[in-house]
Structure 1
Amino acid sequence: MKPSAPAAAIAARKRQAEQKLAQIQKAIGQLRRERGRLTVRSIAERAGVSATFCYENFDARSLVKSAIADSRSRHDQAAADEHERIEATWRERALNAEAELSRAQKEILTQRQHIGELMGQIRDCGQMVSGESVQVLVTEKSTLQRRVQQLTQEHRKLQERLEGARSNLRFADKRIADLEAQILEHDR
């Protein structure tokens, strides 16, 4: 028994559709490996089928649709991962920059305080010693040195007098003690 012409045509069309579906699967696999862009047109061109077949055949449409959705989710995930990686490096740089900024501000404050103290010392020195007052200070210094020499000489003289007075006092104490002893002997 020979199959009828319509049944044979249907079977041939079915085999042809299955071959096209296999070509579509193969094309999707190739595009994924090559990291090519997955669209209905690119899949149809790679598979050697018409874009109309991809839209009209239910199985082809579901294969293409799931491949595109999977590709987009992978692409979106890869983009999100890349964005997160870049964001993390910028976040770290920002934190490092903030830390360095606060350290620099503290250092600047310390330096300004130190500069202020040094400027105050410079002002004090400028007020103390002007061009004319240097001569006055030199004169005053020599006057004070002479006065120190005089006071040192007077101190030596006074020390000698004090030593003499102490010696006289010891002699007088000894003489008094001797006289008191004589009086006591004489009264007996």
Structure 2
Amino acid sequence: MTTAAALAARQEQTRQKIAQVETAIAQLRRERGQLTVRAIAARAGVSATFLYENSQARTRVQAAVADSRSHHDQSAVETHERIEATWRERALNAETELTRAQKEIFTQRQRIGELMGRLRDLDQTVPGESVQALVSENTSLKHRVQQLTREHRLLQERLGGSRSNLRFADKRIADLEAQLLETAAAASDTTGQP
């Protein structure tokens, strides 16, 4: 075999391998598989060394891996924003309900105080049946205050839970961002690009 024929055969073999790499990248994208150098090499049936040494193959693989990472990063950011929005909304709703319950309790306590004052005044001047009606109304108001106090306590617990969940979500997000930065730094160290 002549040198020219050997070179032509080698160039044809390289073209076939590059075509296999492109096919493997397309398949992994369709299957939403993980785009890494090893995964692409295994799917294409070529060695990882070929992907690193051949400039055309290296360029295609680096572009595919970078595109996959940016898509994955964007997906993680969107998921984070969606989760954070729901917890923030729950916390705001709980705070609104807590404020409403506190106002209602304050109003009911004022009303009870006024009625207690009237009851004392009437107790001295009104016959027993009227006093009995006022005592009955007073008892029902006390029950209402107890109910509102229970609702207030429940809303405070919900608010505390929402705040705790929000803190956990913020911590989880910070951990994920740190992992992404570490992965990006490791990838840039591996590829030699910033």
If the length of structure 2 is used for normalisation, what is the TM-score? 0.60
- Following the alignment from structure 1 to structure 2, what is the Cα–Cα distance between the partners of residues 110 and 118? 12
Deviation at 1:121, TM superposition (A): 3.4
Q: Structure 1 residue 60 and structure 2 residue 57: aligned?
A: yes
Residues matched between the structures, number: 128
Residue 39 of structure 1 is matched in structure 2 by 36
- Following the alignment from structure 1 to structure 2, what is the Cα–Cα distance between the partners of residues 127 and 5? 127
- Following the alignment from structure 1 to structure 2, what is the Cα–Cα distance between the partners of residues 115 and 42? 74
Deviation at 1:125, TM superposition (A): 5.0
Structure (1 or 2) with the larger CA radius of gyration: 1
Residue 111 of structure 2 is matched in structure 1 by 114
Q: CA RMSD in A?
A: 2.1
Residue 95 of structure 1 is matched in structure 2 by 92
Structure 1 residue identity aligned to 2:80: H
Residue 30 of structure 1 is matched in structure 2 by 27
Deviation at 1:93, TM superposition (A): 1.9
Deviation at 1:123, TM superposition (A): 4.1
Deviation at 1:119, TM superposition (A): 3.0
Residue 170 of structure 2 is matched in structure 1 by none
Residue 74 of structure 1 is matched in structure 2 by 71
Residue 84 of structure 1 is matched in structure 2 by 81
How many percent of aligned residue pairs carry the same amino acid?
A: 70
If the length of structure 1 is used for normalisation, what is the TM-score? 0.61
- Following the alignment from structure 2 to structure 1, what is the Cα–Cα distance between the partners of residues 88 and 72? 24
- Following the alignment from structure 1 to structure 2, what is the Cα–Cα distance between the partners of residues 24 and 15? 14
- The one of the two structures with greater contact order (alpha-carbon pairs below 8 A, sep at least 6) is 2
- Following the alignment from structure 1 to structure 2, what is the Cα–Cα distance between the partners of residues 66 and 74? 12
Structure 1 runs (4+) deviating above 6 angstroms are none
Equivalent position SS for 2:71: helix
Deviation at 1:124, TM superposition (A): 4.1
- Following the alignment from structure 1 to structure 2, what is the Cα–Cα distance between the partners of residues 127 and 23? 102
- Following the alignment from structure 1 to structure 2, what is the Cα–Cα distance between the partners of residues 88 and 40? 36
Q: Deviations over 1:38-57 (max 9, x none)?
A: 10000100111111111111
